[in-house]
């Protein structure tokens, strides 16, 4: 809602990121998948790739290993790209993260 001087409150709309908000965190996997599947084509693919990126980052954190700095830098630059370009960059970053997984070549683990 506009202030008396006609400007907008900088915190307006932040409630949508709260747990009950439209863009808030999703606890149930099925609800998350429904939200992602409701997105248009490129946005859906980007959301899926960004979810993979987040999962990989969580794995790195559990292994107490830093995500390579150049990957983090490229992720920041990707935000300024067009949707198709951003999608390709994120796919590439995910591939590079997979290739640099801690313990990826150790032991007799089965990888898919």
**For the whole model, what pTM was predicted?**
0.68
Residue 57 included in any domain: yes
CA angle centred on 83, ends 80 and 84, rounded to 5°? 120
Residue 16 included in any domain: no
CB 73 within 8 A of CB 111: no
Residue 4 included in any domain: no
Residue 105 included in any domain: no
Residues spanned by the domain of 43: 28-99
DSSP 8-state symbol, 105: T
Residue 84 included in any domain: yes
pLDDT tens series, the chain, 112 aa: 445 555 445 555 666 656 666 656 667 778 778 888 888 989 999 989 999 999 999 999 998 999 999 999 999 999 899 999 999 999 999 999 999 887 655 554 444 4
Residue 53 included in any domain: yes
Residue 5 included in any domain: no
Residue 49 included in any domain: yes
Q: Report the C-alpha gap between 96 and 72 in whole angstroms.
A: 11
Q: Map residue 2 onto helix, strand or coil.
A: strand
Based on the structure, what is the number of domains in the chain? 1
């Amino acid at each position: 809602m506009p202030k008396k001087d006609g400007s907008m409150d900088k915190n307006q709309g932040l409630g949508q990121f709260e747990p009950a908000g439209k863009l808030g965190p999703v606890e149930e996997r099925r609800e998350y998948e429904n939200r992602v599947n409701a997105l248009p084509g490129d946005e859906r693919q980007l959301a899926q790739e960004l979810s993979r990126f987040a999962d990989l980052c969580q794995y790195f954190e559990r292994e107490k290993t830093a995500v390579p700095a150049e990957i983090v830098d490229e992720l920041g630059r990707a935000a300024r790209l067009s949707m198709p370009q951003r999608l390709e960059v994120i796919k590439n970053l995910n591939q590079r993260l997979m290739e640099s997984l801690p313990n990826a070549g150790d032991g007799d683990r089965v990888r898919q």
